[in-house]
Amino acid sequence: MDWLPATFQIAFGAGLASTFDDNIYLTGFFGEVNRTFRPKHIIVGEILGFSVLILISLIGCALGLVIPSKYIGLLGVLPILIGIKNLQEHINSPKESDQDKKRSRRKFAELKGFESRQLSLAEVLRDGQTYNVSLVTISNGGNNLSIYIPLFASLGFPRVGIVIAVMYAFIGTWLFLAFHLTRMPGIALVLNRYAGLFFPFVLMWLGFRILSDTQALSLLAPLSH
């Protein structure tokens, strides 16, 4: 069971880096809740959309079983490149003016609360608004496929199962936080502003772990000479 701590470490890094930005659009969705668009639409839509991403990643991983793992591991370069790109965008992004900050505070302050109305799961699944959330989740997480596929390929069962379970735990955490962040605008603004500086480094670390665990670094070594 020596592999268990390392697996949780990888799962935590992958889940944190690849799903954190979900709380940004989830907070926006929760702020739009009204009599017809309920929190259940957002929760179910997010879970369905994320499940589609996981399913696609597992299919891609399965198709890659005919290819030696170290060659699939070369895809670990992608999280590194994505991390570098995100870091550059964060550094080069224009700073918010005082007027922009006031506008953002007003936007969060204007988010309305929720009126109680219970919907059954069947009603939620029949409502197109649920799948609007799913489409946003899939669109936002499309880049994560380049992380999940090589990551899953570098791990064996049951390690993949543990990683997926941790990722779903992160999704549940972001749903919970996003729901409550609509009532704490100051915290939401701080998280959205400063998280972009930290998570590119997590992505780069994850890419190096994939390259290392699949021994793909041996394929890149000749290129350094």
Note the maximum CA span of the chain.
Answer: 65
| Domain positions in the chain | 26-215
- Other beta carbons within 10 Å of 208: 16
What's the pLDDT score for residue 179?
87
What's the pLDDT score for residue 111?
44
Residue type, 113: G
For the chain, the DSSP string reads -THHHHHHHHHHHHHHHHHTTHHHHHHHHHHT--SSS-HHHHHHHHHHHHHHHHHHHHHHHHHGGGS-HHHHGGGGHHHHHHHHHHHHHHHHSPPPPHHHHHHHHHHHHT----------HHHHHH-HHHHHHHHHHHHHTGGGHHHHHHHHHHS-TTHHHHHHHHHHHHHHHHHHHHHHHTT-HHHHHHHHHHHHHHHHHHHHHHHHHHHHHTTTHHHHGGGG-
Q: Which residues contact 42 (CB under 8 A, 6 or more apart)?
A: 26, 29, 30, 33, 133, 175
What's the pLDDT score for residue 100?
53
What's the pLDDT score for residue 194?
62
pLDDT per position in the chain (225 positions), as tens?
678 888 999 999 889 888 887 887 887 788 777 788 888 999 999 999 999 999 999 988 887 666 666 676 677 787 788 778 878 877 887 665 555 555 555 544 444 444 445 788 888 999 988 998 998 888 777 778 888 988 888 887 789 999 999 999 999 999 998 888 766 656 655 655 665 667 678 778 877 877 877 777 777 766 555
Taking the C-alpha atoms of residue 224 and residue 154, their distance in angstroms, rounded to an integer, is: 23
What's the pLDDT score for residue 186?
61
